[in-house]
Amino acid sequence: MKRITVIGPGAIGGVIASQLQRSGTEVNLLATPRSARAIREHGLRLVDNGTLHVDHPRITDDARALGVQDLVLVCAKGHSLLTAAESFAPLIGPETVIVPALNGIPWWFFEGFGGDLQGRRLRTVDPAGDIERFLPSRQCLGCVVYIASWVDAEGVIRPGARRRLVIGDTAAGAAPDRLERVASLLERAGFDIHRSADIRREVWLKLWGNLTMNPLSALTGAAVDRLVGDPATRQLAARMMEEARILAEGLGIALPMSTEERLAELDVLGPVKTSMLQDLEAGRAPEIDAIVGAVAEIGDLLGIGTPFIDAVLGLVRQLAVTRVPPAA
């Protein structure tokens, strides 16, 4: 894979791009005009183990300048894809491998799923089918990101020590070598890669934590350690997680641990600010629908009630309306 583009070189995309670049793999960056200007002026800056790395990959705000790519890593926020997916079309050819490194339920989730929900398009994720039209599910590899990272006020990316990516094919019949080519490329760049035979289970397992910690942190302003350490918010998170566990069973997804075991994993994260809280503090629109709204919608599709999830969804949507400027 020689032609590689990272879309959205922020807290996650910037880590991926920086490590690929430093491993000897040339990458292109596709960013918003504002981000592109900043990276052209200052470089792609990342602090790793106390060392500042400054890379100067090719960057543009116009996909037409790059043309068709072999590999596209989509690291933009899920809700931004609704308006931006068409602009990515010049990057995508029939053989392009697409790796969406996103939180929440991705647009490809029910492609190849089987059963009554086969091919179902979630209105909370891709209401008009535009994302699917320009970023076809059949060309996607699923990716679950375990990287705690943030961008400071100076635009410097500051990741934690953990750099784990779980990847897996989204559909049967995919080219047998595409998963291995991408996995090997990322391993050479220093990522801890887990190859999954059931990527939808991995998506749900990560979502199990994001579904609770993201909106609760946005509503309270608290980091993860305070949310799981307080008996009342821990109990609320447990109720939401139990509803999500029941939905997983309804989808035929067998989660490998109990609700309390998943909460125990959150106990060790410490004072981490979730992406939703970081977005609100920066005046950006938070990523609500893919993380919370899609789960509530799946409950409706299955005919399974999710009253705790629904209540938190309503509250965090109202918070976003009152806290984020209309243009965000």
Which residue in this structure is represented by tokens 């989808």? 251
In this structure, the chain runs to a length of 328
- State how far the Cα of 121 lies from the Cα of 99, in Å rounded to an integer: 19
- State how far the Cα of 131 lies from the Cα of 257, in Å rounded to an integer: 32
Pick the catalytic residue: 2, 77, 206, 273?
206
Collapsing DSSP states into helix, strand and coil, what is residue 59?
A: strand
**Inter-residue long-range contacts of 136-140, CB under 8 Å, 24+ positions, other chains counted:** 136/92, 136/98, 137/107, 137/108, 137/111, 137/112, 137/170, 137/171, 138/111, 138/170, 138/171, 138/174, 139/92, 139/96, 139/97, 139/98, 140/97, 140/98, 140/99, 140/100, 140/106, 140/108, 140/170
- State how far the Cα of 73 lies from the Cα of 102, in Å rounded to an integer: 10
DSSP H helices, the chain, are 13-22, 33-42, 81-84, 130-134, 178-188, 199-220, 224-229, 231-251, 259-267, 275-281, 294-302, 307-323
Q: What is the DSSP string of 303-326?
A: T---HHHHHHHHHHHHHHHHHS-T
- State how far the Cα of 177 lies from the Cα of 198, in Å rounded to an integer: 17
The answer to whether 77 is a known catalytic residue is: no
Residues 6 or more apart whose CB falls under 8 angstroms from that of 25 comprise: 4, 185, 188, 189
- State how far the Cα of 101 lies from the Cα of 157, in Å rounded to an integer: 17
Catalytic site residues?
206
